[in-house]
Structure 1
Amino acid sequence: MARILLVDDEVELADSLAQQLRREGYTVDVAYTGGRAWELLQKSPALPYDLLVLDWMLPELSGLSLCQRVRQVDCTTPILFLTARDTLDDRVEGLDAGADDYLVKPFELRELLARVRALLRRTTGTGEGIPRLQIGDLELDRENQVAYRQGRMIHLSQKEFRLLEYFMTHPGQLLTHDQIYEQVWAGEDPPSSNVLAAQVRLLRRRLRLPGAAELIHAVYGKGYRFGPVAENP
Protein backbone atom coordinates (compact mmCIF):
# COMPACT_ATOMS: atom_id res chain seq x y z
CA MET A 1 0.00 0.00 0.00
CA ALA A 2 1.58 3.24 -1.15
CA ARG A 3 1.96 6.07 1.38
CA ILE A 4 1.06 9.59 0.27
CA LEU A 5 1.65 12.91 2.01
CA LEU A 6 -0.98 15.47 0.99
CA VAL A 7 -0.14 19.08 1.87
CA ASP A 8 -2.78 21.79 1.41
CA ASP A 9 -3.97 24.63 3.64
CA GLU A 10 -7.55 24.36 2.33
CA VAL A 11 -8.69 22.04 5.09
CA GLU A 12 -11.99 20.98 3.52
CA LEU A 13 -10.34 20.22 0.17
CA ALA A 14 -7.42 18.39 1.78
CA ASP A 15 -9.66 16.21 3.92
CA SER A 16 -11.93 15.40 1.00
CA LEU A 17 -9.01 14.43 -1.25
CA ALA A 18 -7.49 12.33 1.51
CA GLN A 19 -10.74 10.38 1.81
CA GLN A 20 -10.86 9.82 -1.94
CA LEU A 21 -7.27 8.59 -2.02
CA ARG A 22 -7.93 6.24 0.92
CA ARG A 23 -10.87 4.79 -0.99
CA GLU A 24 -8.36 3.93 -3.70
CA GLY A 25 -6.38 1.95 -1.15
CA TYR A 26 -3.59 4.41 -0.34
CA THR A 27 -2.35 5.32 3.11
CA VAL A 28 -2.61 9.11 3.38
CA ASP A 29 -1.21 11.61 5.85
CA VAL A 30 -2.40 15.22 5.66
CA ALA A 31 -0.55 18.41 6.61
CA TYR A 32 -2.13 21.88 6.43
CA THR A 33 1.13 23.85 6.63
CA GLY A 34 4.51 23.51 5.00
CA GLY A 35 6.15 23.46 8.41
CA ARG A 36 4.09 20.49 9.58
CA ALA A 37 4.81 18.65 6.33
CA TRP A 38 8.55 19.13 6.83
CA GLU A 39 8.24 17.74 10.36
CA LEU A 40 6.52 14.61 9.01
CA LEU A 41 9.16 14.21 6.32
CA GLN A 42 11.98 14.32 8.86
CA LYS A 43 10.58 11.59 11.10
CA SER A 44 12.73 8.85 9.56
CA PRO A 45 16.19 8.75 7.90
CA ALA A 46 14.67 7.74 4.58
CA LEU A 47 11.73 9.63 3.14
CA PRO A 48 8.71 7.77 4.57
CA TYR A 49 6.36 8.47 1.64
CA ASP A 50 5.96 7.07 -1.88
CA LEU A 51 4.40 10.28 -3.25
CA LEU A 52 4.09 13.92 -2.17
CA VAL A 53 1.13 16.04 -3.31
CA LEU A 54 1.87 19.70 -2.58
CA ASP A 55 -0.01 22.97 -2.79
CA TRP A 56 2.22 25.95 -3.60
CA MET A 57 0.91 28.68 -1.31
CA LEU A 58 1.26 27.26 2.21
CA PRO A 59 1.67 28.82 5.66
CA GLU A 60 5.13 28.66 7.32
CA LEU A 61 6.92 27.09 4.34
CA SER A 62 5.82 27.33 0.72
CA GLY A 63 5.26 24.23 -1.39
CA LEU A 64 8.06 25.40 -3.67
CA SER A 65 10.52 25.64 -0.77
CA LEU A 66 9.34 22.30 0.57
CA CYS A 67 9.90 20.70 -2.82
CA GLN A 68 13.41 22.15 -2.98
CA ARG A 69 14.25 20.89 0.53
CA VAL A 70 13.02 17.40 -0.33
CA ARG A 71 15.11 17.30 -3.47
CA GLN A 72 18.23 18.15 -1.46
CA VAL A 73 17.89 14.86 0.41
CA ASP A 74 15.81 12.69 -1.95
CA CYS A 75 16.00 12.55 -5.72
CA THR A 76 13.53 9.78 -6.49
CA THR A 77 10.27 10.20 -4.56
CA PRO A 78 7.72 11.67 -7.00
CA ILE A 79 6.23 15.09 -6.24
CA LEU A 80 2.98 16.40 -7.69
CA PHE A 81 2.08 20.09 -7.43
CA LEU A 82 -1.65 20.70 -6.98
CA THR A 83 -2.08 24.46 -7.11
CA ALA A 84 -4.07 27.40 -8.43
CA ARG A 85 -0.90 29.00 -9.82
CA ASP A 86 -1.51 28.43 -13.51
CA THR A 87 0.90 30.53 -15.57
CA LEU A 88 3.54 28.94 -17.76
CA ASP A 89 6.25 30.57 -15.61
CA ASP A 90 4.72 28.96 -12.50
CA ARG A 91 4.73 25.53 -14.12
CA VAL A 92 8.32 25.91 -15.25
CA GLU A 93 9.43 27.12 -11.81
CA GLY A 94 7.68 24.21 -10.09
CA LEU A 95 9.15 21.60 -12.40
CA ASP A 96 12.60 23.18 -12.17
CA ALA A 97 12.34 22.99 -8.37
CA GLY A 98 12.08 19.22 -8.66
CA ALA A 99 8.40 18.44 -9.14
CA ASP A 100 7.53 15.53 -11.42
CA ASP A 101 4.05 16.72 -12.39
CA TYR A 102 1.86 19.82 -12.11
CA LEU A 103 -1.94 19.93 -11.93
CA VAL A 104 -3.85 23.21 -11.80
CA LYS A 105 -6.88 23.81 -9.59
CA PRO A 106 -9.76 23.38 -10.20
CA PHE A 107 -9.23 19.85 -11.48
CA GLU A 108 -11.18 16.68 -12.16
CA LEU A 109 -10.77 13.96 -9.55
CA ARG A 110 -10.34 11.29 -12.23
CA GLU A 111 -7.38 13.14 -13.68
CA LEU A 112 -5.76 13.53 -10.27
CA LEU A 113 -6.14 9.81 -9.53
CA ALA A 114 -4.73 8.92 -12.95
CA ARG A 115 -1.69 11.13 -12.35
CA VAL A 116 -1.18 9.61 -8.90
CA ARG A 117 -1.24 6.10 -10.41
CA ALA A 118 1.16 7.13 -13.16
CA LEU A 119 3.66 8.65 -10.70
CA LEU A 120 3.53 5.63 -8.40
CA ARG A 121 4.13 3.28 -11.33
CA ARG A 122 7.49 5.00 -11.87
CA THR A 123 8.72 3.86 -8.47
CA THR A 124 9.45 0.24 -7.72
CA GLY A 125 7.53 -1.59 -5.05
CA THR A 126 4.78 0.95 -4.52
CA GLY A 127 1.17 1.46 -5.45
CA GLU A 128 -0.04 -0.89 -8.15
CA GLY A 129 3.50 -2.08 -8.77
CA ILE A 130 2.97 -4.92 -6.27
CA PRO A 131 0.02 -7.01 -7.53
CA ARG A 132 0.62 -9.71 -4.88
CA LEU A 133 1.51 -9.59 -1.20
CA GLN A 134 2.92 -12.59 0.64
CA ILE A 135 3.51 -13.31 4.33
CA GLY A 136 4.47 -16.87 5.23
CA ASP A 137 2.05 -19.28 3.60
CA LEU A 138 -0.53 -16.57 2.87
CA GLU A 139 -0.63 -14.74 -0.45
CA LEU A 140 -2.98 -11.93 -1.47
CA ASP A 141 -3.75 -11.35 -5.15
CA ARG A 142 -4.65 -7.66 -5.08
CA GLU A 143 -5.74 -7.49 -8.71
CA ASN A 144 -8.31 -10.27 -8.41
CA GLN A 145 -9.07 -9.70 -4.70
CA VAL A 146 -8.57 -13.31 -3.65
CA ALA A 147 -6.18 -14.88 -1.16
CA TYR A 148 -4.29 -18.16 -1.18
CA ARG A 149 -3.15 -20.08 1.87
CA GLN A 150 -1.07 -23.20 1.36
CA GLY A 151 -2.27 -23.08 -2.25
CA ARG A 152 -5.96 -23.04 -1.29
CA MET A 153 -8.00 -20.20 -2.82
CA ILE A 154 -9.95 -18.02 -0.38
CA HIS A 155 -12.68 -15.81 -1.78
CA LEU A 156 -13.05 -12.47 0.00
CA SER A 157 -15.77 -9.86 0.28
CA GLN A 158 -14.76 -6.26 -0.46
CA LYS A 159 -14.43 -5.43 3.26
CA GLU A 160 -12.49 -8.64 3.95
CA PHE A 161 -10.12 -7.84 1.11
CA ARG A 162 -9.50 -4.29 2.32
CA LEU A 163 -8.99 -5.47 5.89
CA LEU A 164 -6.56 -8.22 4.89
CA GLU A 165 -4.66 -5.90 2.55
CA TYR A 166 -4.24 -3.38 5.36
CA PHE A 167 -3.05 -6.07 7.77
CA MET A 168 -0.58 -7.54 5.23
CA THR A 169 0.96 -4.17 4.41
CA HIS A 170 1.58 -3.52 8.12
CA PRO A 171 2.79 -6.86 9.53
CA GLY A 172 3.69 -6.90 13.21
CA GLN A 173 2.38 -3.38 13.79
CA LEU A 174 -0.29 -2.47 16.31
CA LEU A 175 -3.17 -1.19 14.20
CA THR A 176 -5.67 0.69 16.32
CA HIS A 177 -9.40 0.53 15.83
CA ASP A 178 -9.41 4.12 14.55
CA GLN A 179 -6.67 3.40 12.01
CA ILE A 180 -8.60 0.40 10.72
CA TYR A 181 -11.83 2.39 10.49
CA GLU A 182 -10.04 5.12 8.54
CA GLN A 183 -8.59 2.71 5.99
CA VAL A 184 -11.23 0.02 5.60
CA TRP A 185 -14.32 2.20 6.05
CA ALA A 186 -12.89 5.32 4.37
CA GLY A 187 -15.63 7.75 3.40
CA GLU A 188 -18.26 5.83 5.38
CA ASP A 189 -19.61 6.32 8.87
CA PRO A 190 -17.30 4.41 11.24
CA PRO A 191 -18.91 1.15 12.38
CA SER A 192 -19.28 0.12 15.99
CA SER A 193 -16.50 -1.88 17.62
CA ASN A 194 -18.82 -4.89 17.46
CA VAL A 195 -18.99 -4.64 13.67
CA LEU A 196 -15.20 -4.52 13.40
CA ALA A 197 -14.84 -7.48 15.77
CA ALA A 198 -17.36 -9.45 13.71
CA GLN A 199 -15.51 -8.60 10.47
CA VAL A 200 -12.23 -9.76 11.99
CA ARG A 201 -13.83 -13.01 13.16
CA LEU A 202 -15.11 -13.70 9.64
CA LEU A 203 -11.69 -13.03 8.15
CA ARG A 204 -9.99 -15.24 10.76
CA ARG A 205 -12.40 -18.03 9.88
CA ARG A 206 -11.61 -17.74 6.17
CA LEU A 207 -7.86 -17.81 6.79
CA ARG A 208 -7.92 -20.69 9.29
CA LEU A 209 -6.54 -24.07 8.21
CA PRO A 210 -5.83 -27.19 10.32
CA GLY A 211 -2.34 -26.92 11.79
CA ALA A 212 -1.77 -23.42 10.34
CA ALA A 213 -0.72 -20.53 12.57
CA GLU A 214 -3.27 -17.94 13.66
CA LEU A 215 -2.49 -14.67 11.88
CA ILE A 216 -4.75 -12.01 13.40
CA HIS A 217 -4.18 -11.24 17.08
CA ALA A 218 -6.30 -8.91 19.21
CA VAL A 219 -4.49 -6.46 21.49
CA TYR A 220 -7.02 -5.92 24.25
CA GLY A 221 -8.54 -2.44 24.26
CA LYS A 222 -6.23 -1.20 21.49
CA GLY A 223 -6.58 -3.00 18.17
CA TYR A 224 -4.93 -5.84 16.28
CA ARG A 225 -1.56 -7.17 15.14
CA PHE A 226 -1.03 -9.32 12.07
CA GLY A 227 1.57 -12.06 11.75
CA PRO A 228 2.24 -15.75 12.39
CA VAL A 229 3.09 -15.20 16.07
CA ALA A 230 1.34 -12.84 18.45
CA GLU A 231 3.53 -10.07 19.79
CA ASN A 232 3.31 -8.50 23.24
CA PRO A 233 1.50 -5.16 23.20
Structure 2
Amino acid sequence: MRVLVVEDDQALGLFLKKGLKLEGYEVDWVSDGEAALQHADEFQPDIMVLDLGLPRRDGLEVLNKLRAEHRDMSVLVLTGRSGLEDRLASLNSGADDCLLKPFSFHELTARCRALRRRRMSENNNNVLLNHYDLELNRVQRKAMRGGRSLDLTVKEFALLEYLLLHRGRVVSRPELLREVWSMSPDAGTNVVDVYINYLRRKLAEAVTDASNQASLIETVRGEGYRLREKKRVARQEEIPSRSEMHCA
Protein backbone atom coordinates (compact mmCIF):
# COMPACT_ATOMS: atom_id res chain seq x y z
CA MET A 1 0.00 0.00 0.00
CA ARG A 2 1.48 3.34 -1.06
CA VAL A 3 1.08 6.52 1.00
CA LEU A 4 2.00 10.00 -0.21
CA VAL A 5 2.52 12.46 2.66
CA VAL A 6 2.03 16.13 1.70
CA GLU A 7 3.20 18.27 4.62
CA ASP A 8 5.25 21.49 4.58
CA ASP A 9 6.40 21.16 8.20
CA GLN A 10 9.76 19.46 7.68
CA ALA A 11 9.95 17.82 11.10
CA LEU A 12 6.41 16.45 10.92
CA GLY A 13 6.79 15.33 7.31
CA LEU A 14 9.97 13.40 8.06
CA PHE A 15 8.41 11.87 11.19
CA LEU A 16 5.35 10.67 9.26
CA LYS A 17 7.47 9.26 6.46
CA LYS A 18 9.66 7.26 8.84
CA GLY A 19 6.77 6.16 11.04
CA LEU A 20 4.57 4.96 8.19
CA LYS A 21 7.50 3.07 6.67
CA LEU A 22 7.93 1.24 9.97
CA GLU A 23 4.23 0.32 9.72
CA GLY A 24 5.00 -1.42 6.43
CA TYR A 25 3.76 1.21 3.99
CA GLU A 26 5.66 2.38 0.93
CA VAL A 27 5.94 6.12 1.58
CA ASP A 28 6.91 9.26 -0.31
CA TRP A 29 6.85 12.79 1.12
CA VAL A 30 6.58 16.20 -0.55
CA SER A 31 6.17 19.63 0.98
CA ASP A 32 4.05 21.73 -1.40
CA GLY A 33 0.89 21.52 -3.47
CA GLU A 34 2.52 21.52 -6.91
CA ALA A 35 4.79 18.63 -5.93
CA ALA A 36 1.75 16.79 -4.55
CA LEU A 37 0.04 16.81 -7.94
CA GLN A 38 3.22 15.78 -9.74
CA HIS A 39 3.92 12.91 -7.34
CA ALA A 40 0.30 11.77 -7.51
CA ASP A 41 1.06 10.99 -11.17
CA GLU A 42 4.50 9.47 -10.64
CA PHE A 43 4.05 7.65 -7.32
CA GLN A 44 0.40 6.60 -7.81
CA PRO A 45 -0.44 6.40 -4.08
CA ASP A 46 -3.34 4.46 -2.61
CA ILE A 47 -3.64 7.03 0.19
CA MET A 48 -2.65 10.69 0.28
CA VAL A 49 -2.13 12.30 3.70
CA LEU A 50 -2.73 15.94 2.76
CA ASP A 51 -2.09 19.03 4.87
CA LEU A 52 -4.36 21.98 4.06
CA GLY A 53 -1.88 24.80 4.72
CA LEU A 54 0.60 24.28 1.87
CA PRO A 55 2.81 26.63 -0.16
CA ARG A 56 2.40 27.00 -3.95
CA ARG A 57 -1.04 25.35 -3.88
CA ASP A 58 -3.42 25.14 -0.93
CA GLY A 59 -4.46 21.67 0.14
CA LEU A 60 -8.09 22.28 -0.82
CA GLU A 61 -7.00 23.33 -4.30
CA VAL A 62 -4.96 20.12 -4.61
CA LEU A 63 -7.92 18.06 -3.42
CA ASN A 64 -10.34 19.72 -5.85
CA LYS A 65 -7.98 19.09 -8.77
CA LEU A 66 -7.49 15.44 -7.80
CA ARG A 67 -11.23 14.82 -7.64
CA ALA A 68 -11.90 16.78 -10.85
CA GLU A 69 -9.47 14.42 -12.59
CA HIS A 70 -11.14 11.40 -10.94
CA ARG A 71 -7.93 10.23 -9.26
CA ASP A 72 -8.48 6.86 -7.59
CA MET A 73 -6.90 7.40 -4.19
CA SER A 74 -8.11 7.89 -0.64
CA VAL A 75 -7.35 11.31 0.89
CA LEU A 76 -6.83 11.90 4.61
CA VAL A 77 -6.73 15.65 5.28
CA LEU A 78 -4.59 17.10 8.08
CA THR A 79 -5.48 20.54 9.32
CA GLY A 80 -4.45 22.87 12.10
CA ARG A 81 -7.55 24.95 11.46
CA SER A 82 -9.96 24.12 14.25
CA GLY A 83 -13.02 25.65 12.62
CA LEU A 84 -15.75 23.32 11.42
CA GLU A 85 -15.96 25.11 8.07
CA ASP A 86 -12.55 23.87 6.91
CA ARG A 87 -13.34 20.26 7.74
CA LEU A 88 -16.70 20.50 5.99
CA ALA A 89 -15.03 22.10 2.97
CA SER A 90 -12.52 19.24 2.86
CA LEU A 91 -15.19 16.55 3.05
CA ASN A 92 -17.37 18.33 0.49
CA SER A 93 -14.36 18.54 -1.85
CA GLY A 94 -13.88 14.78 -1.73
CA ALA A 95 -11.71 14.05 1.32
CA ASP A 96 -12.31 10.59 2.77
CA ASP A 97 -11.38 11.63 6.31
CA CYS A 98 -10.06 14.60 8.31
CA LEU A 99 -7.68 14.72 11.25
CA LEU A 100 -7.17 17.81 13.40
CA LYS A 101 -3.65 18.80 14.48
CA PRO A 102 -2.12 18.03 16.89
CA PHE A 103 -2.90 14.34 16.57
CA SER A 104 -1.67 10.98 17.82
CA PHE A 105 0.40 8.99 15.34
CA HIS A 106 -1.52 5.89 16.45
CA GLU A 107 -4.77 7.57 15.45
CA LEU A 108 -3.36 8.50 12.05
CA THR A 109 -2.25 4.91 11.37
CA ALA A 110 -5.65 3.62 12.53
CA ARG A 111 -7.36 5.92 10.05
CA CYS A 112 -5.00 4.81 7.28
CA ARG A 113 -5.87 1.19 8.04
CA ALA A 114 -9.58 2.06 7.88
CA LEU A 115 -9.08 3.71 4.49
CA ARG A 116 -7.16 0.66 3.29
CA ARG A 117 -9.98 -1.66 4.38
CA ARG A 118 -12.48 0.54 2.57
CA ARG A 119 -10.42 0.42 -0.64
CA MET A 120 -10.06 -3.35 -0.42
CA SER A 121 -13.81 -3.70 0.15
CA GLU A 122 -14.49 -1.62 -2.96
CA ASN A 123 -12.04 -3.73 -4.96
CA ASN A 124 -13.74 -6.89 -3.74
CA ASN A 125 -16.85 -5.88 -5.68
CA ASN A 126 -14.98 -6.61 -8.92
CA VAL A 127 -15.67 -10.27 -9.67
CA LEU A 128 -13.81 -10.41 -12.99
CA LEU A 129 -10.30 -8.97 -13.26
CA ASN A 130 -8.81 -8.60 -16.74
CA HIS A 131 -5.44 -7.57 -18.10
CA TYR A 132 -4.28 -8.11 -21.67
CA ASP A 133 -5.23 -11.76 -22.46
CA LEU A 134 -5.48 -12.67 -18.77
CA GLU A 135 -8.78 -13.15 -16.92
CA LEU A 136 -9.32 -13.99 -13.25
CA ASN A 137 -12.72 -14.88 -11.74
CA ARG A 138 -12.69 -14.12 -8.01
CA VAL A 139 -15.91 -15.99 -7.25
CA GLN A 140 -15.17 -19.19 -9.14
CA ARG A 141 -11.47 -18.92 -8.16
CA LYS A 142 -10.38 -19.58 -11.74
CA ALA A 143 -7.79 -17.90 -13.93
CA MET A 144 -7.28 -18.11 -17.69
CA ARG A 145 -4.79 -16.76 -20.19
CA GLY A 146 -5.66 -16.66 -23.85
CA GLY A 147 -8.67 -18.85 -23.14
CA ARG A 148 -6.55 -21.56 -21.51
CA SER A 149 -7.11 -22.46 -17.86
CA LEU A 150 -4.24 -21.85 -15.41
CA ASP A 151 -3.60 -24.51 -12.78
CA LEU A 152 -2.70 -22.26 -9.83
CA THR A 153 -2.17 -23.07 -6.17
CA VAL A 154 -4.07 -21.06 -3.56
CA LYS A 155 -1.09 -18.78 -2.93
CA GLU A 156 -0.30 -18.34 -6.63
CA PHE A 157 -3.91 -17.32 -7.22
CA ALA A 158 -3.76 -14.82 -4.33
CA LEU A 159 -0.54 -13.33 -5.68
CA LEU A 160 -1.93 -12.95 -9.20
CA GLU A 161 -5.14 -11.49 -7.80
CA TYR A 162 -3.19 -8.85 -5.85
CA LEU A 163 -1.13 -7.89 -8.90
CA LEU A 164 -4.31 -7.52 -10.95
CA LEU A 165 -5.99 -5.40 -8.27
CA HIS A 166 -2.98 -3.07 -8.30
CA ARG A 167 -2.17 -3.13 -12.01
CA GLY A 168 -0.68 0.09 -13.31
CA ARG A 169 1.85 0.47 -10.50
CA VAL A 170 4.85 -1.29 -8.99
CA VAL A 171 4.08 -3.53 -6.01
CA SER A 172 6.99 -3.91 -3.59
CA ARG A 173 8.18 -7.16 -2.01
CA PRO A 174 7.42 -5.91 1.55
CA GLU A 175 3.88 -5.05 0.45
CA LEU A 176 3.36 -8.52 -1.03
CA LEU A 177 4.74 -10.16 2.10
CA ARG A 178 2.31 -8.20 4.25
CA GLU A 179 -0.79 -8.42 2.05
CA VAL A 180 -0.50 -11.88 0.45
CA TRP A 181 1.46 -13.85 3.05
CA SER A 182 0.49 -11.90 6.20
CA MET A 183 4.17 -11.74 7.11
CA SER A 184 6.29 -8.93 8.51
CA PRO A 185 7.58 -6.69 5.68
CA ASP A 186 11.15 -7.15 6.94
CA ALA A 187 10.96 -10.95 7.11
CA GLY A 188 14.16 -12.48 5.76
CA THR A 189 12.63 -14.68 3.06
CA ASN A 190 12.67 -14.95 -0.73
CA VAL A 191 9.19 -16.49 -0.91
CA VAL A 192 7.89 -13.60 -3.06
CA ASP A 193 10.58 -14.09 -5.71
CA VAL A 194 10.01 -17.85 -5.71
CA TYR A 195 6.27 -17.51 -6.29
CA ILE A 196 6.73 -14.80 -8.91
CA ASN A 197 8.86 -17.29 -10.85
CA TYR A 198 6.17 -19.97 -10.41
CA LEU A 199 3.57 -17.58 -11.81
CA ARG A 200 5.76 -16.48 -14.70
CA ARG A 201 6.32 -20.07 -15.76
CA LYS A 202 2.63 -20.97 -15.65
CA LEU A 203 1.62 -17.79 -17.49
CA ALA A 204 4.23 -18.48 -20.18
CA GLU A 205 3.12 -22.11 -20.58
CA ALA A 206 -0.42 -20.94 -21.38
CA VAL A 207 0.76 -18.91 -24.39
CA THR A 208 0.81 -20.59 -27.80
CA ASP A 209 1.50 -17.49 -29.89
CA ALA A 210 5.28 -17.05 -30.21
CA SER A 211 4.83 -13.32 -30.82
CA ASN A 212 3.33 -12.92 -27.34
CA GLN A 213 6.04 -14.49 -25.23
CA ALA A 214 7.01 -11.38 -23.25
CA SER A 215 6.47 -11.98 -19.54
CA LEU A 216 3.29 -10.46 -18.12
CA ILE A 217 5.13 -9.80 -14.84
CA GLU A 218 8.01 -7.32 -14.91
CA THR A 219 10.69 -6.85 -12.29
CA VAL A 220 11.57 -3.22 -11.54
CA ARG A 221 14.99 -3.35 -9.93
CA GLY A 222 15.06 -2.09 -6.36
CA GLU A 223 11.28 -1.54 -6.30
CA GLY A 224 9.28 -4.72 -6.92
CA TYR A 225 6.96 -6.11 -9.58
CA ARG A 226 4.20 -4.94 -11.88
CA LEU A 227 2.03 -6.30 -14.67
CA ARG A 228 3.35 -5.42 -18.10
CA GLU A 229 1.49 -2.64 -19.85
CA LYS A 230 -0.31 -3.55 -23.06
CA LYS A 231 1.80 -1.25 -25.21
CA ARG A 232 5.11 -2.51 -23.84
CA VAL A 233 6.79 -4.82 -26.35
CA ALA A 234 10.20 -5.28 -24.73
CA ARG A 235 10.83 -8.93 -23.92
CA GLN A 236 13.17 -8.51 -20.97
CA GLU A 237 11.68 -9.39 -17.59
CA GLU A 238 13.74 -6.86 -15.64
CA ILE A 239 13.59 -3.14 -16.30
CA PRO A 240 15.41 -0.23 -14.64
CA SER A 241 13.91 1.63 -11.72
CA ARG A 242 12.61 5.19 -12.09
CA SER A 243 15.73 6.57 -10.41
CA GLU A 244 18.00 4.68 -12.81
CA MET A 245 16.08 5.98 -15.81
CA HIS A 246 16.40 9.57 -14.56
CA CYS A 247 20.17 9.20 -14.15
CA ALA A 248 20.70 8.24 -17.81
- The yes-or-no answer on 1:30 pairing with 2:28 is yes
Deviations 1:32-78 (A, max 9, x none): 4124324324x58xxx66653313355x457xx13224425743446
Give the aligned partner of residue 148 of structure 1: 143
SS in structure 1 at match of 2:88? helix
Cα deviation, residue 133, structure 1: 1.7
| CA-CA distance at 1:156 after TM superposition | 2.9
Letter in structure 2 aligned against 1:67: L
* SS of residue matched to 1:201: helix
Q: Please give the alpha-carbon distance, in whole angstroms, between the structure 1 residues aligned to 2:3 and 2:227.
A: 22
Give the equivalent residue in structure 1 for 2:176: 184
Q: Once the 2 structures are TM-superposed, how far is the Cα of residue 166 of structure 1 from its aligned partner?
A: 2.5
- 1:17 maps onto 2:20 in alignment: yes
- 1:161 deviates by 2.7
Q: 1:100 to 1:136 in 2, by over 3 A?
A: closer
Aligned length: 209
Alignment of 1:16-165 (within 5 A): 16-17=19-20, 22=25, 30-35=28-33, 36-41=35-40, 43=41, 52-57=48-53, 60-61=55-56, 65-72=58-65, 74-75=67-68, 76-77=70-71, 79-83=75-79, 85-95=81-91, 99-104=95-100, 105-106=103-104, 107=107, 109-118=109-118, 127-141=123-137, 146-149=141-144, 150-152=148-150, 154-157=152-155, 161-162=158-159, 165=162
Where in structure 2 are there 5+ consecutive unaligned residues? 179-183, 237-248
Task: Report which stretch shifted further, 147-156 or 205-214.
Answer: 205-214
Q: Relative to 1, partners in 2 of residues 1:204 and 1:185: Cα closer, same or farther, differing over 3 Å?
A: same
Query: Quick one: structure 1 residues 147 and 180, their matched pair in 2 at CA, closer, same or farther if it must change by over 3 Å?
Result: farther
Kept in 2, the 8 Å contact 1:3–1:51? The answer is: yes
Q: Any stretches of 5+ residues in structure 1 without a counterpart?
A: 23-27
Displacement after TM superposition at 1:89 (Å): 4.5
* TM-score normalised by the chain length of structure 2: 0.55
Distance 2:49 2:165 in 1: 25
With CA pairs under 8 Å and 6+ residues apart, which has the higher RCO, 1 or 2? Answer: 1
2:199 to 196, 203, 223: 203
Write the distance in 2 (CA, Å) between the matches of 1:208 and 1:232.
12
The one-letter code of the counterpart of 2:176 is: V
- Per the normalisation by structure 1, the TM-score is 0.58
1:231–1:147 CA distance, 2 compared to 1 (3 A): farther
Identity %: 21
Give the letter aligned to residue 6 of structure 2.
V
The alpha-carbon distance between structure 1 residues 143 and 13, as it changes in their structure 2 partners (threshold 3 A), is farther
Cα deviation digits, residues 100-127 of structure 1 (max 9, x gap): 5323433264444334554787xxxx74
**Cα distance between partner residues in 1 of 2:115 and 2:220:** 41
